[in-house]
Structure 1
Amino acid sequence: MRNNSNYGWLRASAALRALAFTGAGFAAVAAPAYAQDTSPDAVAAQAAEPEGDVIIVTGSIIRRTDAETPSPVTTISVENLDQRGISTVQEGIQRIASNNGPALTNSFSANGAFAAGASAVSLRGLSTNSTLVLFDGMRAAYYPLSDDGTRNFVDLNTIPDDIVDHVEVLRDGASSSYGADAIAGVVNIITKREFKGISGRAETGISSRGDGAQYRLSLTAGKGDIDDDGYNAYISGFYYKSKQLKNNQRPYPYNSDDYRNICRDGNCGPNNVVDGLDDTGAYPGFSPVVTNTGSTFFVRRANPASATGAQTGRYQILNPLAGCNRSTPYTLTPDDLAATDPDGNLINAAAPTTVCQEDLTNNYGVINPDIQRFGLSARFTARIGDDSEAYAQFNFLQTDVGYDGLPTTIRANAPAPFYFPRYSTSGNVAYYGGNTILQLPVYVCPRGTTVACTAANGTLNPNNPFAAEGQNAAIIGRLPNSIEHDESRTRAYRGAIGIKGPINDNWSYQVDATAMHMDLRRKSDGYVYIQHLLDVIADGSFNFINPAANSQATLDYLMPTATATSTSDLVQVQGTVQGSLIDLPGGPLQFGAGVSFRYEAIDSPSLNSDINGGTERYYRLNGFAVKGDRKVYSAYAELIAPIIDQVELNASGRYDRYSGGIDNFSPKVGVKFKPVREVLLRGTYSKGFRIPSFGEANATFPTTGFVTNTANIFNDAYLAQYGCTVATFDDACPQYIRNGSYGQTSLSNPDLKPEKSRSFTLGILVEPMRNVSFSVDYYNIKKTGAITTADNTPALQAYYAGQPIPAGFNIIEDVPIAPGDTRQPRVAFVQSGFINADTIKSQGLDFAANAQIKLNDSITWTTSLEGSYIIKLSTTFPDGSTQRYDGTLGNFNLTAGSGTPKWRGTWLNTLDFGKFALTGTLNFFGGYDLSAMDQGDDYKDCGQMTAGYLPCKVDDYLTFDLNAQVRVNDNFTFYASMLNVFDDLPPIDPVTYGAHAYNPVQGGLGILGRYFNMGIKVNY
């Protein structure tokens, strides 16, 4: 038994070990992952360019020789990611300190994410749709699926790793330069302008437990020097594979649904094992609400003459000779059979005498999916005349993601808005919706029989052990010989062309165009097609007693492969001119202006449409669909005014006009003040916007999220019929009430307006000596008219109080607690449209400290500390109420329960000996309170952990990585990494639902445990 009082000490001691390791100098990290002199103001970007060269820093359209802008920028060097042992650019972006909360990691693909197969960044905790991702300053096509069915984003898995030069992260609003979605910041992936020679790498990695293997191969070849030869051409290809990791490959509790060994102060966690004993003494798979989801079939007598399918007696295993499948049999004791609730009712009246206790997470849970990526890129750049330059670039990238799921389900509600009626028939098969169950009939008849199946035209059902008694068999369980399996294949094609050059001595131009197409094929196997299930039950062609005896043709009929292809397209053309107007005391007054046209489209049909009727679809598959397109016409300008040597002003603005009639103007002003050479003060003020996503405005099939019932939506009068009150909700209410959930169905609204934002930053950068810098930046972002569904609480409360449902809502009832029960059912679904209603605020601080010190003639020490602290993240609703999320699990609607930790940071140190370099990285991700105000809790009241078997606060998470590089000569470099040196697995969090027992954003790669990478880089 693990006592979590000691558990916290173990984590603290691990942190001390890591700090001691670092303090001893061994943690001195070789080349920080955020460029050689990485500071949030992109000083490193300047170092990457030859002295005197002009550059464009993200967030500006004007080329300049000074990378110190009013806006804070973080630069990530790909070479430095290698030194940290990070294999992909997308993982490097996920580790940015300002990335928090609703980030979408690859692990979500294995846990039922709407946007399966993708990865996305979320700066400032403001979600994936408020962070703009660019390729060389131009937009990329959205991922064809939306995050949670509503949020458009760019998939980081489409980054062609080996042609990336560096990544600039603008931690400030940038709608004045780029338009919509740049509210929280911008991630700009900069590809290589030229490449000469041949470069390749081969890398492999595996955890200390012998799993989670990954492989990487790449080769890049280029020829020509733009300055000397007038051209450069290169081609690059890569292959990457990461193998599936399952829960049973990790220790307790990440591998189990049974939390009874997680204890604190005498309180232990619940037993969520299928057919396991719960804290009331019940085996909840059987009574009073049927929730059995194990992979062993149980049956119970049911009266076919009853209009409600009334059931009697106990459940029994359908095939006693086969026993329990992948589960542990347990025979109920006399005390188990005699157990009663507070009202004296038998708790286990319907339970079988032998149950099959199945740990679904241990048997089937997946942590990370199979990922395979490969791609090809090519670029040709040529000098035109003496000063102009043109380029053409093409990228192709394919990502395949696949993972295994649970055993095939034969009873479940299809996704909203369809909900099965309480009683429907197909031939002689009765199906009772919701929490009641499918029934095997007494007689079976040939398929196509249109009249009632009786003894006159049918035969006794061989699958029904009660057929000879004239009774139906209510059946529950999952198919033991079939597993749900999901795959996605994303193909991204991107082309870009451009030309730039001088107009005269003071003015220059640049024209760029890009087109990108993505197609995403989704393929799902092992999911039951509802009508076909009813067919094989009615004709008896499916063998439920021995599922392994079914022919492949029968299985294919019952579970036909579900496929759908979604596409996303983008075309963008933009042109800019820039030059000097007049000379000011501090330098030339620079002006830039541009125009842009953009076309965006998404066509994502439903994988599980109900267009042909409610039974002509699959159990459990997401039904969301969206289709839309738009054109955007833009004009923008920027002015840089060096008033004096110490003061520079920056002003920019952009006007966007959308084909749907929406227009927006986004202004921004910034100032930097350098009173002395060692100190830089900076600040910005901007207004931005986010255009309604295609899912919010154009969904052709809505999305539904499910929320567990909480006491605050009920009242005592309603609960009295179930023998409980609001005060006794958690103890006395039946599972039908307290463990029930309702679907929140969000309907699209084509009349939505853009979300508007106001943001400002204030910062200071201090460089007391060469190669040493410190900075602090404050940010404050406010979004108004934030798009959301209305708070469903008033509609739920009205339903349970017997009052009229407020306008704009539709309530769909669930089925009764049992067939024929006359008590008012709980709510199944609440439907409401998206609206512009909320105000969202995010404010916090970014910290950085960087130094590069030459210890002697042969040893250089580089250190870089980066941290981000969220002071407050909150939402204010139209009624004036406010919910606060920072330091908690909220906002569930955005984060999938992965929370918003206040702190995140990285400390890197390097000892470079010339031929040998040793890098150490300390990664810190803060803890958070197990509460969420959007789930009915008060701020940090431990509302999601009232059971008390864990502390209210999830621990901080600290890991330490080591990397060593040996430069054999100019052509060969060997490297090896040990990630998570102390093998510290993520803190326990049983509440989040993006992963099992840990937070997938906080845990990140930490769930792999100690991990080894090694490889070789070759350059000629």
Structure 2
Amino acid sequence: MKKTVLFTPNLLTYTTLALSVGFSATAYSASETKEVERIQVTGSHIKRTDMEGPSPVQSLSAADLAATGSTDLIGALQKLPVSGAGTFSTQGNSSDDTANGGSSVALRGLGASSTLVLINGRRVAVSPFAKDIETSFVDLNSIPMSSVKRVDILKDGASATYGSDAVAGVINIILRDDIDGFEVAAKTSTTADGGGDEQNLTLLWGSSSNTSKHNFSIDYYKRDAILNSQRSYTATADQRFRGGNNSLSSSGFPGSVEVTRAMLTDAQWAALPVSRIDPEGNPVRQTIFADVWGNDTCDESLIIGDICRYDYAPHSTLVPSTERISFNYNGSQEITDNIEGFAEFSAQHSSSFIEGAASPSFTELTMMGDNPNHPLFNDPSHFLHGVDISMRRRTVEIGNRQKDVDSEYYRAVLGARGSFSDWDWEVAYSAIRSSAVEKGVNGFPNIIRTQEAIDSGLWNPFEPSTNTEAALAYFETTTTRSGASTMQSIDGTISGELFELGDDMAAIAIGFEARNERIEDNPDAQFLRGEIFGTEATQANGERDNKAIFAELSLPVLETLELQLALRHENYSDFGSTTDPKVAFRWTPLDSLVVRGSWGTAFRAPSLVQLHLGRTDESPSVIDKERCRQTGAEADCEPTEYTAIVAGNPDLQPETSSNYNLGVIWQTTDNFSVGVDYWNYDQEDLIKKIGAQKLVDCCGSDQALVQRAPSQGGNLGRILVINDTFVNIGGRETDGFDLNLNYRLNTDNLGEFKFNYNLTYTLNFEEQSFESDKQGNTSIVAEDLNGEFQHPEFRWVAGVDWSNESWLANVGINYISGYNDLPDTNNDRFDIDSWTSIDTSVSYVGFDELTLTLGASNLTNEEPPQAPSDSFGVDSKTHSAIGRQAYFKLAYKF
């Protein structure tokens, strides 16, 4: 392969290299001549002789990842300051989640679907199951950390280089290609508060020569579940003991009886109790009643606001149990002096087990007034005698909802690269398939058969202790949801030097990419017929073709100034074409100083889920603020679960954005460097669900959007159904700066210390949203979310690495600033506190080829700060409720 001879490197080379991959222990002499292979760095198709280009790239080595104490990638990457709102792990997975077992990172808080994830510079198929119904993402759990050589994070828009989704930046995962021999590693960990024990076993082997590299890995990972009941602060949905909200479910056990005006005769309606008189003098009737009749009654402590409540928290998983086994191969073989072939193969099988509280129903089930099991059948004097009723209840009798999710992941890349004359070329074919089967194995009732069991008298929902196993078996069912995401692509690039410009050469890269993407997400026929309540499932089937051509030009316009120009044109089969440019520069006025900047446009194509999602039912908790103001009833003023219907929108257009970055890197001394970058993003035509709470707040009286029971006494009726969908709405603007400090200290007797500090400070995060006034006039308004829920103003990590002879140690401090919670009924916002956690480890390398490591994540076992708006009192997308996790690891090289 072609080499480039680099003479007399100057201090600037070391500056940029140090900031991208950390301080190196090797220093070149100014009189030395080094042969350096040109390499392709993240953010450019033109090969370079140094790691640092005009765009900001943060690199994390395998050692950096391991120092976080995490056994998987998401555990390490979610601690980065550049990770923001929209980052998610398996924490918080429950039976209601639509992407159980998945995880991803959202750079700059712009959403996981706006962060492009690559493996060795190439795209990866998205998960078959979207997160929160709408967010398509690459599941980072499909990539074992043992196979990772480093992770490059490009922290500006890169659609001109990589195409769709590279709005906020790029996470490029570089696989190991440096294994020579055999390595084995084992790790075990446990948590201080119970649950979440982990075991990890890794086998690595490979060979390396001048003509070939072959790297193999097998990785086994197992983690036990953590239940909400195992953490004192998440053990109940009634968070009033912490000063939070009462989020107990309105679907209780044995439940509540509910009636509407349409179900009753005039005489029956007039017989209902009057709860109050409205300002106009009209009586307001009580229409919901906790079950207090017969032998099986609602616990008095759970009757709140005339509703029988239920505490679902103790029955739900905080983190599901997971088991994964992965195989990876990454290699190359020289074919001729100027051509080599390369291949990458990956396969993974994973299983997750998720548990949630018993299935809730919200007035879906009814009972006729003459049913012998009617709770007031034998009390003709009661005002509900003979009245047709509906009910809010949970089918606790058939147990908690339990899901098994089995996933398969396969990836294959075959390609060749080489050189002719002064030009480099590369071409490759990729095929990726990610599939999953989600089975509801316990606790799921079929609505049709449940109603039949009520009508026939087989099942008595008001006296659950009297029911037989046969009655329960009649309406309990199992569910199946299967999905697959596939991608096939072929890509090619050619790059080389064009002409001499001053003392350097102008370089160019041109290339193409063609790919086909397909997604399938199919629940079973029961879901499609609307026969399953108490859980969420999506249905989406779509396919698209994409063709792209791109070019990139590097111009050394001055000895100290490099200019980068890039342009990419893409055509999509389902919405049209887009062209995105990028301009970047790197200026070195001094050997110790780099000034860099970039500007470009980016886009995100509507995901196949957002375009093709079928009708999907959610069960969001919503505060009916307008009805609360009218009635003042606790039942209206607390979060209550309702049915929300979501569907795809085939008329969506892509999101577009522009971004720019301006930074300075200063190597003040050989051992100290400072880097500062200002970044700015401006997005338009964001694709979003309006959201159940937003729809109720803005348009709660619009029956097309919020269906309600008939009004009574001038008060809005109770919410029945909320209709939501995806729309191109408004825009988003955010800006801030990153600060990076690195210092190295060598001592005579105490060893070497490396200090680092990495800060991301967000100045603004303004997002447009859909609002309406009291007269029903709708408009788009801008809201600055910076410092609001899940949008902390700043995050930083600081650390020190120490090495001395046979010992290595590190300490890392992770800090997330405080922010405001979501507004309550009175539009007041609770202050969510800042959070600091400490990770540390110590390793002994004095044995021949053996390394022993002892460490802990969240060493001081800091509890996550309280977030009252969350049902469990924890913002699980920003903070971790795992607690202290101590681990021991050994690694041996043969």
Query: Per-residue CA shift, 1:104-126, capped at 9, x if unaligned?
Result: 22113237333222101101111
The equivalent position to 1:656 in structure 2, one of 555, 559, 570, is: 570
> What residue in structure 2 maps to residue 887 of structure 1?
787
Contact 1:978 1:1013 in 2 (8 A): yes
Q: Against the structure 1 CA distance between its residues 581 and 271, is the aligned structure 2 distance closer, same or farther, given a 3 Å change threshold?
A: closer
The question of 1:243 aligning with 2:224 is answered yes
> What residue in structure 2 maps to residue 781 of structure 1?
681
The question of 1:565 aligning with 2:492 is answered no
Please state whether the residue corresponding to 1:536 is helix, strand or coil: helix
Contact 1:126 1:842 in 2 (8 A): no
Deviation at 1:102, TM superposition (A): 1.4
Please list, as runs of the form range in 1=range in 2, the aligned pairs for 1:98-247 lying within 5 A after superposition.
Answer: 98-110=82-94, 112-223=96-207, 225-227=208-210, 230-247=211-228
Deviation at 1:904, TM superposition (A): 1.0
The question of 1:846 aligning with 2:746 is answered no
The equivalent position to 1:385 in structure 2, one of 336, 360, 365, is: 336
> What residue in structure 1 maps to residue 438 of structure 2?
522
Contact 2:312 2:356 in 1 (8 A): no
The question of 1:371 aligning with 2:322 is answered yes
Please state whether the residue corresponding to 1:257 is helix, strand or coil: coil
CA distance, structure 1, for counterparts of residue 699 and residue 67 of structure 2:
59
Deviation at 1:814, TM superposition (A): 2.2
The question of 1:676 aligning with 2:590 is answered yes
Deviation at 1:655, TM superposition (A): 0.6
CA distance, structure 2, for counterparts of residue 798 and residue 199 of structure 1:
60
Query: Per-residue CA shift, 1:779-804, capped at 9, x if unaligned?
Result: 00101122235699998689777xxx
The question of 1:814 aligning with 2:705 is answered no
> What residue in structure 1 maps to residue 252 of structure 2?
294
Q: Against the structure 1 CA distance between its residues 44 and 439, is the aligned structure 2 distance closer, same or farther, given a 3 Å change threshold?
A: farther
Please state whether the residue corresponding to 2:358 is helix, strand or coil: strand
Deviation at 1:580, TM superposition (A): 0.6
Contact 1:608 1:621 in 2 (8 A): no
CA distance, structure 1, for counterparts of residue 589 and residue 302 of structure 2:
80
Please state whether the residue corresponding to 1:762 is helix, strand or coil: strand
Deviates more, 1:578-587 or 1:674-683: 578-587
> What residue in structure 2 maps to residue 930 of structure 1?
821
Q: Against the structure 1 CA distance between its residues 732 and 191, is the aligned structure 2 distance closer, same or farther, given a 3 Å change threshold?
A: same
**More strand by proportion, 1 or 2?**
2
Q: What amino acid is the match of 1:371?
A: T
Deviation at 1:703, TM superposition (A): 6.0
CA distance, structure 2, for counterparts of residue 909 and residue 490 of structure 1:
38
The equivalent position to 2:661 in structure 1, one of 761, 767, 786, is: 761
Contact 2:856 2:884 in 1 (8 A): yes
Please state whether the residue corresponding to 2:717 is helix, strand or coil: coil
Deviation at 1:921, TM superposition (A): 0.7
Deviation at 1:368, TM superposition (A): 1.1
Deviation at 1:871, TM superposition (A): 0.8
Contact 1:699 1:747 in 2 (8 A): yes
Query: Per-residue CA shift, 1:820-869, capped at 9, x if unaligned?
Result: x8965245445365333312111111111112222126611111111111
The question of 1:987 aligning with 2:861 is answered no
CA distance, structure 1, for counterparts of residue 536 and residue 574 of structure 2:
29
Contact 1:466 1:473 in 2 (8 A): no
The question of 1:956 aligning with 2:834 is answered yes
Please list, as runs of the form range in 1=range in 2, the aligned pairs for 1:468-479 lying within 5 A after superposition.
Answer: 471=386, 477-479=393-395
CA distance, structure 2, for counterparts of residue 521 and residue 794 of structure 1:
33
Q: Against the structure 1 CA distance between its residues 734 and 988, is the aligned structure 2 distance closer, same or farther, given a 3 Å change threshold?
A: closer
CA distance, structure 2, for counterparts of residue 364 and residue 795 of structure 1:
30
Q: What amino acid is the match of 2:453?
A: V
Q: Against the structure 1 CA distance between its residues 514 and 44, is the aligned structure 2 distance closer, same or farther, given a 3 Å change threshold?
A: farther
Q: Against the structure 1 CA distance between its residues 472 and 155, is the aligned structure 2 distance closer, same or farther, given a 3 Å change threshold?
A: same
TM-score by length of 1: 0.76
Please list, as runs of the form range in 1=range in 2, the aligned pairs for 1:721-800 lying within 5 A after superposition.
Answer: 726=629, 732-733=632-633, 735-736=635-636, 745-789=645-689
Query: Per-residue CA shift, 1:913-952, capped at 9, x if unaligned?
Result: 12111211111111102246xx999xxxxx344xxxxxx4
Deviates more, 1:855-864 or 1:114-123: 855-864
> What residue in structure 2 maps to residue 628 of structure 1?
542
> What residue in structure 1 maps to residue 455 of structure 2?
538
CA distance, structure 1, for counterparts of residue 114 and residue 846 of structure 2:
45
> What residue in structure 1 maps to residue 558 of structure 2?
644
Q: Against the structure 1 CA distance between its residues 929 and 329, is the aligned structure 2 distance closer, same or farther, given a 3 Å change threshold?
A: closer
Contact 1:108 1:116 in 2 (8 A): no
The question of 1:70 aligning with 2:54 is answered yes
Contact 1:43 1:68 in 2 (8 A): no
CA distance, structure 1, for counterparts of residue 174 and residue 498 of structure 2:
29
Deviates more, 1:149-158 or 1:309-318: 309-318
Q: What 5-or-longer segments of structure 2 have no aligned partner?
A: 1-13, 29-33, 274-288, 771-778
CA distance, structure 1, for counterparts of residue 430 and residue 675 of structure 2:
36
The equivalent position to 1:60 in structure 2, one of 44, 64, 67, is: 44
Contact 1:299 1:473 in 2 (8 A): no
Contact 2:254 2:291 in 1 (8 A): no
Please list, as runs of the form range in 1=range in 2, the aligned pairs for 1:579-590 lying within 5 A after superposition.
Answer: 579-590=496-507
CA distance, structure 2, for counterparts of residue 518 and residue 849 of structure 1:
40
Q: Against the structure 1 CA distance between its residues 1019 and 749, is the aligned structure 2 distance closer, same or farther, given a 3 Å change threshold?
A: same
Deviation at 1:236, TM superposition (A): 1.4
Q: What amino acid is the match of 1:851?
A: Y
Measured on the aligned residues, the alpha-carbon RMSD in Å equals 3.6
> What residue in structure 1 maps to residue 755 of structure 2?
863
Contact 1:100 1:900 in 2 (8 A): yes
Contact 1:150 1:694 in 2 (8 A): no
CA distance, structure 2, for counterparts of residue 297 and residue 974 of structure 1:
55
Please state whether the residue corresponding to 1:109 is helix, strand or coil: coil
Deviation at 1:403, TM superposition (A): 1.8
> What residue in structure 2 maps to residue 344 of structure 1?
none
> What residue in structure 1 maps to residue 277 of structure 2?
none
Identical counterparts, % of pairs: 23
Deviates more, 1:81-90 or 1:253-262: 253-262
Deviation at 1:514, TM superposition (A): 1.0
Higher relative contact order (CA 8 A, sep 6+): 1
Q: Against the structure 1 CA distance between its residues 538 and 1010, is the aligned structure 2 distance closer, same or farther, given a 3 Å change threshold?
A: same
Contact 1:598 1:632 in 2 (8 A): yes
CA distance, structure 2, for counterparts of residue 188 and residue 573 of structure 1:
18
Deviation at 1:640, TM superposition (A): 1.0
> What residue in structure 1 maps to residue 424 of structure 2?
508
CA distance, structure 1, for counterparts of residue 720 and residue 654 of structure 2:
31
CA distance, structure 2, for counterparts of residue 848 and residue 699 of structure 1:
42
TM-score by length of 2: 0.86
Q: What 5-or-longer segments of structure 1 have no aligned partner?
A: 1-34, 263-267, 275-290, 333-346, 414-419, 421-430, 432-437, 444-459, 890-898, 938-942, 946-951
CA distance, structure 1, for counterparts of residue 659 and residue 839 of structure 2:
35
Contact 2:57 2:153 in 1 (8 A): yes
CA distance, structure 2, for counterparts of residue 528 and residue 48 of structure 1:
68
Deviation at 1:191, TM superposition (A): 0.7
CA distance, structure 2, for counterparts of residue 998 and residue 643 of structure 1:
53
Contact 1:479 1:547 in 2 (8 A): no
CA distance, structure 2, for counterparts of residue 927 and residue 547 of structure 1:
46
Contact 1:304 1:441 in 2 (8 A): no
